[in-house]
Amino acid sequence: MNGCFTCLNCGKVNPTKGHSYTNKYCNNSCQQQHRSRLLVKEWKDHAGHTAWRQIPEYVRKYLIEQRGHKCEVCGNTTHNEQPIPINVDYIDNNSYNNVETNLQLICPNCKSQK
C-alpha cells in the first residue's frame, strides 16, 4: 500500500503518510476547501427548498470568491482603508428563496438602510 495518493481537493499526487484514512488531502486546508465545495454543490442542488436560519459561511465565502470582495449595493470594497465587512442578503427578503441569483453581497451600512 506504500506509494502515492491523489488529493481529493486539488488533484495533487502526494506520497502516502501515516494511516490510510489521512491519505485523502494534502493538508487541512485542502480538506476544508473540498468540504465547502461539497456544501456549495449541495446548496446549489437544493436551493430554494430549505430556509437557512442564517446564511452559511461557505455561501458567503463562495459568493465573495465568485463576485469579488465588494458591496453590490454601494460598490465599496474598503472602509477606512480596511476591507469592508461583507454580509449576504436576500434581494427579495424571502429567506426561503436562497437561490444564488437572489443573494447579494452587502455591507453593514447598506443593510441598515434597506
Q: If binding is defined by CB under 5 A, does position 4 make contact with Zn ion?
A: no
Q: If binding is defined by CB under 5 A, does position 107 make contact with Zn ion?
A: yes
Q: Angle 47-29-52 (CA atoms, 0-180°, nearest 5)?
A: 25
Binding characters for Zn ion, 46-85, by CB under 5 A (x = yes)? -------------------------x-xx-----------
CB of 113 to Zn ion, least distance (A): 9
Cα distance between residue 74 and residue 66, in whole Å: 18
29 three-class SS? helix
CB count within 10 Å of CB 63 equals 20
Name the site residues for Zn ion (rule: CB under 5 A): 7, 9-10, 12, 26, 30, 71, 73-74, 107, 110
